[in-house]
Amino acid sequence: MSNLDRTLTMLKELTDANAVSGHEKEARDVMERYLKQSADKIFTDNLGSIIGEKVGDENGPKIMIAGHLDEVGFMVTRIDKNGFLYFQPIGGWWNQVLLAQRVTIMTKQGNITGVIGSKPPHILTPEQRKKPVEIKDMFIDIGASSKEEAESFGVRPGDSVVPYFEFTQMKNENMLLAKAWDNRIGCAIAIEVLNQLKDTPHPNIVYGVGTVQEEVGLRGARTSAHLIKPDIAFGVDVGIAGDTPGVSEKEADSKLGQGPQIVLYDASMVSHKALREFVIETAEANNIPFQYTSMPGGGTDSGAIHLTADGVPSLSITIATRYIHTHAALLHRTDFENAVKLIVEVIKKLDNDMLEKIRRA
């Protein structure tokens, strides 16, 4: 299989996997299969975050590259007498993207299909039609005629509900459409960094990590970082794209295909200045395109990792992505490739002397 085919297959398998926060097994199993191709050792923390270790110099710095396994979704909370399911959002959702969307309910008897519904607009008052339907007034229709029939399908409260969408390569083959880019693209970056370091000397120990429960509070990042005790960390995630109609440059100025985003600050962390400057210098020296971004309304796993123990110099590197936290998001393949290239080049130079410079800056 060519590297091109391998990469697309990996991205498809990662994004097609169903893994809402707290139920990340499918995505973790995919990531484990790919980590086995390059990691020296694979282990997990007690919440289920997966960690692949690649040793260059066993006395060198510990470098953590963290993408999160979980995607936004829902949890079944109640089945009514007519067999309709009511649900709790897991992670952040915008009401307007949900109605009439297909979902997968992960039951003890296997996956079943449902569709999100509400009262039809034809019976709403003119005033009601002007307002978005609230999530509390939505339900999931699985084609059951009663609570008993729904239960016979295997549905029960606590079941995970995941958006349904299949990985799609657009007519422009660099444009990739899928569910769960947030944040299977970060998992893919962690996998591919270790893959490219497989036969490459590096003066450190690298950990490619797929964390759990990021969308509900950066939880797996905290536990996996406690286990690894990294010296330097990179949170790899999606970022906001500003290249769609109606978005001003003041609101978001990143564009698909213009390189990975260097996050200056977000709601969970101010990026470590010396580490950020080192990464930027590396990008410029290797002619790797990049963009600056900030996310005052969001955060990444770096927010939890940088507060581990007595502190971990950290930086978030993100991929500009359209339509995150919906059923289908869109990103550019070269941004993924350049993020991997940048992190690999950084790792090649991140020895104990450089770590000390970063810490003392």
Main-chain phi, psi angles of 348, to 5 degrees? -60, -25
Exactly one of 26, 53, 214, 215 is catalytic; name it: 214
Taking the C-alpha atoms of residue 203 and residue 57, their distance in angstroms, rounded to an integer, is 5
Closest residue by Cα to residue 118 from 93, 135, 94, 104: 135
Q: Supply the DSSP symbol for 296.
A: T
Closest CA relative to residue 53, chosen from 34, 39, 67, 35: 39
Tokens standing for 286? 């290797």
Q: Look-up: residue for tokens 């657009």? A: 170
Check residue 135 and report its DSSP letter.
G
Active site residue 166: no
**Whole-number Å distance between alpha carbons of 78 and 299:** 31
Is the separation of the CB atoms in 116 and 100 below 8 Å? yes
Residue type, 50: I
Specify the pairing of strand 168-169 against strand 62-68. unpaired
The b-or-e profile of 129-152 (16+ CB within 10 A means b, else e) is eeeebebeebbbebebeebeebee
**How many Å apart are CA 301 and CA 316, to the nearest integer?**
8
Q: Outline where 122-260 has alpha helix (H).
A: 126-129, 147-152, 181-196, 219-228
What are the beta bridge partners of residue 334? none
Separation in Å, CA 208 to CA 57, 86, 228: 16, 37, 11
39 alpha carbon, distance to own chain's centre: 21
Backbone angles phi, psi at 89, to 5 degrees: -65, 140
Active site residues: 214
